[in-house]
Structure 1
């Protein structure tokens, strides 16, 4: 499938789980489509990039290790994503990566996620925390930063400052997640 063909197919992706899953399975079954999908995803001013992000998130949710050959591309470009419907899935993929890396279960991510990758994820997550983003990217970022903070001792204090500073101005969903993360930091 060419880039033009995949681009056209992404036009059929909508918010339904069924469509996202269908195209995620298509990409998993044809790994040669992953770099094309990423190319479309990181054309960040195009509205179709959001649909590519949705498909990529579902692919990573099903098989996080499929991202391994593309970790450099992914982490180098995540900070460029700015459209709301694309930021959420990118933040979710960052959370999936940190959970696979720091989790107890065996994962090839532990071997392939480099300090440079973690640095780029940390930067992006802090940006999402301090920028005017919706609750979902902030929630995914809190979790990712909490996990990263177990390795990088400067992350937890910075995260705690942001959570405490923004606590009163945020939604009840933010407050619930922030309370949970702050309790874990203070342990």
Structure 2
């Protein structure tokens, strides 16, 4: 399958778990399709890029290590994504990467996620926290930044400032997650 054929196939992807999983498995079974999928995902002004993001998120949820050869492309471009329905899955993939990286189990993400990759993720997560994004990307970013802050001591104070500043203006979902993260950052 070529990029233009994949592009056409993405027209059949919808919000149903069944469709996203079907196409995620198609990509997992055909790893040569990851590059064209990422190219479509990062056509950030194209509506179909959101569908590519949904498929890529599901691929990562099923087989996160499939992203390893593409970490440079992914992290280099994540800050360009701006459509709400593409930002959420990209932020979720960042959370998958960071959660796996800091997990206690041995895994290949720990070997291949570089300082540069983590810096790009930190940058994107802070952007999602301060920009007018929906709750989901902010929640995923909070978790990622909390974990990254265990390694980089400057992150927790910055994250706390943002959470406290935005607390009153945000949704109850944001407030619940922010309280949880703040308790971990600032124990009594």
Indicate the TM-score class for this superposition, using the shorter chain for normalisation: over 0.9
Q: Distance in 2 between matches of 1:15 and 1:106?
A: 33
Give 1:138's aligned residue. 138
The reply to whether residue 85 of structure 1 matches residue 93 of structure 2 is no
Secondary structure of 2:66's counterpart equals helix
Give 1:179's aligned residue. 179
Q: Distance in 2 between matches of 1:17 and 1:104?
A: 29
Q: CA RMSD in A?
A: 0.4
Q: Distance in 2 between matches of 1:130 and 1:30?
A: 37
Q: Distance in 2 between matches of 1:184 and 1:95?
A: 17
Structure 1: 5+ residue stretches without partners: none
Q: What is the CA-CA distance between 1:106 and the residue it aligns to?
A: 1.7
Give 2:17's aligned residue. 17
Give 1:59's aligned residue. 59
Please give the residue correspondences for 1:26-175 in structure 2 after superposition, counting only pairs within 5 Å.
Answer: 26-175=26-175
Q: What is the CA-CA distance between 1:147 and the residue it aligns to?
A: 0.4
Q: Distance in 2 between matches of 1:81 and 1:181?
A: 25
Q: What is the CA-CA distance between 1:107 and the residue it aligns to?
A: 1.1
Structure 2: 5+ residue stretches without partners: none
Q: What is the CA-CA distance between 1:186 and the residue it aligns to?
A: 1.3
The superposition leaves residues 59-113 of structure 1 with CA deviations (integer Å, 9 ceiling, x where unpaired) of 0001111100000000000000000000000000000000010011221000000
Q: Distance in 2 between matches of 1:140 and 1:39?
A: 23
Q: Distance in 2 between matches of 1:70 and 1:50?
A: 18
- TM (norm. structure 2) is 0.99
Q: 4+ residue stretches of structure 1 with deviation over 4 A? A: none
Query: What is the number of equivalent residue pairs in this alignment?
Result: 187
